[in-house]
Amino acid sequence: MAVQAPQGKAMGDTAGGGAAAPALCRDCLTLPAGTPGDRCPACGSPRLIRHPELHALTIAHIDCDAFYATVEKRDNPALAKRPVIIGGGQRGVVAAACYVARVYGVRSAMPVYKAMERCPDAVVIRPDMAKYAAVGRQVRALMLDLTPLVEPLSIDEAFLDVGAIAAGGESPALALARLVLTIETRLGVTASIGLSYNKFLAKTASDLDKPRGFAVIGRADAEAFLAPRPVGTIHGVGKALDTRLRRDGIATIGDLRKVDEATLVRRYGAIGRRLFRFARGIDNRPVDPSEETKSVSSETTLQRDISDPAALARLLKPLCEAVARRMQRKRLVGRRVTLKLKTGDFRTLTRGRLLVSPIDDAESLYRAALALLEGETDGRAFRLIGAGLEELSDSETIPPDLLSG
């Protein structure tokens, strides 16, 4: 565990000279000098983090813990110790499970009936997305108090570049620990921090020590940390690619490192380049705070799998209308039409077509998406259908004659 999960505490015990590594108390926010033991010399807390590179790392990923469930528990203290599942609805899958429910083996995306078999005492709550979004915005506002370089990944997680804090002479790790304490005391939700030197490793780290975690992956320990991890833990490696990699004898990130870049690209396409770099702990993507919309899409999960082309076409129409409404509200036009389908056995297909001129209306989108759909309706049954637009630009900057097409 100590070597596999180089969280501060573990590294302090295992790394050579680790006892002298800088330390930070996550409860009283002091930086104990010298070589503290297992507890903070100032407040006695065991939540001491220690790592040789603690004050030198500036890319963080902060992720709220079991976010939806935590918000519901906050708002109803009677649920505090109960197993809580957020989910239900028509298809009835688990959207989030609290840590009590997870002890019983309840997991996200599991059908609610199955979750109830494992944990019959669970309290099931219908998701209240508007409420979670509001809390998510409050979390984001606190992050932005620390740095403008916040790149949201979803409602409850974001990358932060805290390089400016380090440049100003303060410890970024200390600032981050203070931030999650503030989130906890002001908003009543807990979050975990992953701290490293790039986004890939920061995101990996935030998962290592949940909940209320703080895990550090430094430059010196990245390769050794990554080597034994399954390839499927690399962000972007889905089930299908994971299966292919394993069939090709690549089970761990260490195995991945034995294959050269050209071979990876030839075998697996563009993601091969990312696999090559990530395997070595290299990720040059900057933390990008711009909220530029890259695509607008709408999809629906079907209550039963459908293969009938006419029925699928009928489902496509309102999706295109929803996309068009959002495009027009955002004053965007898009040139690339996308169709997404998920087969009964969970394979996701995406098909795209570049149009001569950009569009933002439902009718043009529907026509183009329908043409893509007709290429796929060959008797296969689908459980999800979606449509969208990509390659977007500001409608104001497009000459009007292009819009008429």
Q: What are phi and psi of 63, to 5 degrees?
A: -135, 120
Site for Mg ion in 172-211 (CB under 5 A): none
The answer to whether 391 is a known catalytic residue is no
- Kindly tell me which of 67 and 366 has the beta carbon lying closer to Mg ion: 67
**Please, what is the minimum distance in Å from the beta carbon of residue 384 to Mg ion?**
23
- C-alpha pair distances (Å), 63 with each of 20, 180, 203, 204, 363: 29, 10, 9, 11, 40
Q: Which is nearer to Mg ion, 53 or 72 (CB)?
A: 72
Give the amino acid at 15. A
The C-alpha atoms of residue 247 and residue 250 are separated, in whole angstroms, by 7
137-156 binders of Mg ion (CB under 5 A): 156
The secondary structure of residue 322, as a DSSP letter, is: H
Q: Which is closer to Mg ion, CB of 108 or CB of 182? A: 108
Task: Report, in this order, helix, strand and coil percent for the chain, each rounded to 5.
Answer: 40, 25, 35
Shortest CB 59 distance to Mg ion, Å:
18
Site string for Mg ion, 28-67 (x = CB under 5 A): -----------------------------------xx--x
Residue placing its CB nearer to Mg ion in the complex, 142 or 164? 142
Q: How far is the CB of 70 from Mg ion (least distance, A)?
A: 9
Closest residue to bound Mg ion by CB: 63
Report d(CA 48, CA 166) in Å as an integer. 20
Q: Which of 126, 4, 145 is nearest to 62 (CA)?
A: 145
> How far from 69 is each of 94, 100, 102, 136, 148, CA to CA, in Å?
11, 10, 11, 13, 28
- Closest CB to Mg ion among 210 and 340? 210
Out of 117, 151, 157, 391, pick the active-site residue.
157
Distance in Å, CB of 64 to Mg ion, minimum: 5
Alpha carbon dihedral 316, 317, 319, 321, in 10-degree steps, equals: 160
* Cα–Cα distance, 396 to 335 (Å, whole number): 15
Q: How far apart are CA 186 and CA 108, in angstroms?
A: 27
Per-residue mark of binding to Mg ion, 66-105 (x: CB under 5 A): -x--------------------------------------
Q: What angle do CA 154, 48, 170 make, to 5 degrees?
A: 70
Query: Residue 59 or residue 71: which is nearer to Mg ion going by CB?
Result: 71
Residues 207 and 194: their CA atoms lie apart, in Å, by 7
Residue with smaller CB distance to Mg ion, 155 or 216: 155
- Strands 382-394, 295-306: pairing is antiparallel
Q: What's the number of CA atoms in the CB half-sphere (13 Å) around residue 323? A: 33
CB of 292 to Mg ion, least distance (A): 23
Q: Which is nearer to Mg ion, 136 or 218 (CB)?
A: 136
Residues in Cβ contact with 125 at an 8 Å cutoff, skipping those fewer than 6 apart: 72, 84, 85, 86, 87, 88
Shortest spacing between CB 93 and Mg ion, in angstroms: 17
DSSP conformational letter for 287:
P
Four-CA torsion 111, 114, 118, 121, nearest 10 degrees: 80
Q: How far is the CB of 336 from Mg ion (least distance, A)?
A: 31
Task: Please say whether the beta carbons of 279 and 226 come within 8 A.
Answer: yes
- Interface with Mg ion (CB under 5 A), residue total 4
Residue 335: other Cβ atoms inside 10 A: 18
Binding residues (CB under 5 A) for Mg ion: these are 63-64, 67, 156
Catalytic residues: 157
